[in-house]
Structure 1
Amino acid sequence: MNRRSIAALAAALAVTPLLLSAPHESAEAAEGHGGALPPSVRSSRVLGVDLGTVTIPELQARMDRGALTSSALTRAYLRRIEAVDPAIGAVLRTDPTALRQAAASDLRHRRGTTRGPLDGIPVLLKDNIGTRGLATTAGSLALAGKPPAEDAALVTRLRAAGAVVLGKTNMSEWANFRAARPTSGWSAVGGQTRNPYVLDRNPCGSSSGSAAALAASLAQVAVGTETDGSIVCPAGMNGVVGHKPSLGLVSGSGVVPISAEQDTAGPMARNVTDAALTFAVLSGTGPAGVSAHTGTEGLRGKRIGLWRLPSLGPEVDALMVRTAQRLRGAGAEVVEVALPYQERLAELEFPALLSEFHRDIDAYLETRDGPRDLAGLIRFNRAHPAERTCFAGQELFEQALAAPPVTDPAYRAMRAELTDLSRRSVDETMAAHGLDAIASPANPPAWTTDCARGDNDVIPSSTPAAVAGYPSLSVPAGRVGELPVGLLLMAGDRQDAALLSLGAAVERRLDAWRAPRYLRTAPGGGPVASG
Structure 2
Amino acid sequence: MKRHSWRTRGVAVAAFLVMVSAASATTAVPAWATGPSGRPVVAGIDLERATIPDLQRAMRSGRLSSVELTAFYLQRIRKLNPTLHAVLSTNPDALRLAADSDARRHRHRSKGPMDGIPVLLKDNIDTADRQPTTAGSTALLESRPYRDAGVVENLREAGAVILGKANLSEWSSYRSTSSSNGWSPLAGQTANPYVLDRNPCGSSSGPGVAVAAHLATVAVGTETDGSISCPSGANGIVGVKPSLGLVSRSGIVPVSKQQDTAGPMARNVVDAAILLAALNGADRRDPITVDAARQSLDDYTRFLRPNALRGKRIGVWREVYTPDDTTKAAFEQALSRLRKLGATTVEITIPYLDVIAANEFPAIRTEFKHDINAYLASTGGKHPADLAGLIQYNLDHAAIEMPYWTHNLWDRSQATTGDLTDPAYRAMREAATSAARRGLDETLRGEKLDAIVAPTNNAAWKTQLGVGDGALLIDSSGPAAVSGYANMTVPMAYAGPLPLGLSIMGGRFSEPSLLAIAYAFEQDTKVRRLPTFIPSIG
Q: TM-score, normalised by structure 2?
A: 0.88
- Seen in structure 2, the aligned counterparts of structure 1 residues 291 and 274 have a Cα distance that, compared at 3 Å, is closer
The answer on whether the counterparts of 2:221 and 2:263 sit within 8 Å (CA) in structure 1 is yes
Pair 1:295–1:319, CA change in 2 (3 A): closer
Following TM superposition, by how much is the alpha carbon of 1:291 offset from its aligned partner in structure 2, in angstroms? Answer: 9.7
Asked if structure 2 preserves the Cα contact closer than 8 Å seen for 1:134 and 1:148, the reply is: no
Distance 2:519 2:501 in 1: 14
Report the alpha carbon displacement of residue 506 of structure 1 after superposing the two structures with TM. 1.6
Give the whole-Å Cα distance in 2 for the aligned partners of 1:327 and 1:290. 21
1:461 match: secondary structure: coil
Choose which of 523, 526, 531 in structure 2 pairs with 1:508. 523
Q: Deviations over 1:277-304 (max 9, x none)?
A: 11111003444x8998995552111111
Partner of 1:19: none
Sort the Cα spacing of 1:215 and 1:295 in 2 relative to 1 into closer, same or farther, 3 A: closer
The alpha carbon displacement at 1:509 in A equals 2.0
Q: Please identify, of 401-410 and 131-140, the stretch whose mean Cα deviation from structure 2 is larger.
A: 401-410
1:140 and 2:137 are equivalent in the alignment: yes
Q: 1:416–1:214: structure 2 CA closer, same or farther, 3 Å change rule?
A: same
In structure 2, do the counterparts of structure 1 residues 40 and 78 end up closer, same or farther at CA, with 3 Å as the change threshold?
Answer: farther
SS at 2:262 equivalent: strand
Matches within 5 A, 1:31-42: 37-39=33-35, 42=38
Q: Give the Cα–Cα distance (whole angstroms) in 2 for the partners of residues 36 and 182 of structure 1.
A: 33
Query: Which residue in the other structure is 1:95 paired with?
Result: 91
Q: Name the amino acid aligned to 1:474.
A: T
In the TM superposition, residue 82 of structure 1 has moved relative to its aligned partner by: 1.1
Counterpart of 2:248 in structure 1 is 251
TM-score (norm 1): 0.89
Structure 1 residues 445-494: Cα deviation after superposition (integer angstroms, max 9, x where no partner) = 10110112111224320000000000000000011111111000000011
1:147 is displaced (CA, Å) by: 3.2
Q: 1:435 aligns with which of 449, 452, 455?
A: 449
Tell me how far 1:80 sits from its aligned partner: 1.0
Are 1:358 and 2:369 matched, yes or no?
yes
- Indicate which of 393, 404, 413 corresponds to 1:400: 413
Mapped to 2, the partners of 1:344 and 1:175 lie a distance apart of: 24
Specify the code of the residue in structure 2 equivalent to 1:426.
L
State whether structure 2 residue 302 is matched by structure 1 residue 307: no
Asked if the contact 1:36/1:520 (under 8 Å) is kept, the reply is: no
> Equivalent of 1:203, from 200, 203, 209?
200
Contact 2:304 2:515 in 1 (8 A): no
**CA 1:278–1:50 in 2, change beyond 3 Å: closer, same or farther?**
same
* Partner Cα distance (1:104, 1:218) in 2: 21
User: How many residues end up aligned between the 2 structures?
Assistant: 490
Over the residues paired in the alignment, what is the CA RMSD in angstroms? Answer: 1.9
Which digits, 9 at most, give the CA deviation of each residue in 1:319-344, with x for residues without a partner?
11111011111111112212111122
Instruction: Report the identity percentage.
Output: 49
For 2:30 and 2:91, the matched residues in 1 are separated by: 33
Do the aligned partners of residues 36 and 176 (structure 1) sit closer, same or farther apart at CA in structure 2, a change above 3 Å counting?
farther
Q: Which has the higher contact order (CA 8 A, sep 6+)?
A: 1
List gaps (5 residues or longer) in structure 1: 1-32, 526-531
Aligned residues of 1:116 and 1:290 also touching (Cα < 8 A): no
Cα distance in 1 for residues equivalent to 2:303 and 2:259:
35
C-alpha displacement of 1:45: 2.1
Once the two structures are TM-superposed, the CA of residue 49 in structure 1 deviates from its matched residue by 1.2
**Correspondence 1:264-283 to 2 at 5 A:** 264-283=261-280
1:474 aligns with 2:485: no
Structure 1 letter corresponding to 2:237: V
The answer for the alignment partner of 1:23 in structure 2 is none
CA–CA distance in 2 between the matches of 1:259 and 1:295?
Answer: 35
Q: Structure 2: where are the runs of 5+ without partners? A: 1-28, 282-295
CA distance in 2, matches of 1:423, 1:293: 25
1:409 is matched with 423
In 1, Cα distance between equivalents of 2:337 and 2:448: 20
**Is contact 1:35-1:517 (8 Å) kept?**
no
Tell me: CA distance 1:344–1:268, structure 2 relative to 1, closer, same or farther (3 Å): same
Q: Give the whole-Å Cα distance in 1 for the aligned partners of 2:301 and 2:315.
A: 33
Q: Distance in 2 between the 1:35 and 1:462 partners?
A: 37
Which residue is equivalent to 1:328? Answer: 339
Aligned: 1:451 with 2:473: no
What residue number does 1:239 align with?
Answer: 236
Whether contact under 8 Å (1:53, 1:270) holds in the other structure is no
CA distance in 2, matches of 1:327, 1:294: 16
Q: Is the 1:237–1:446 Cα contact (8 Å) retained in structure 2?
A: yes
Instruction: Please say if residues 198 and 521 of structure 1, whose CA atoms lie closer than 8 Å, have aligned partners that are also in contact.
Output: yes
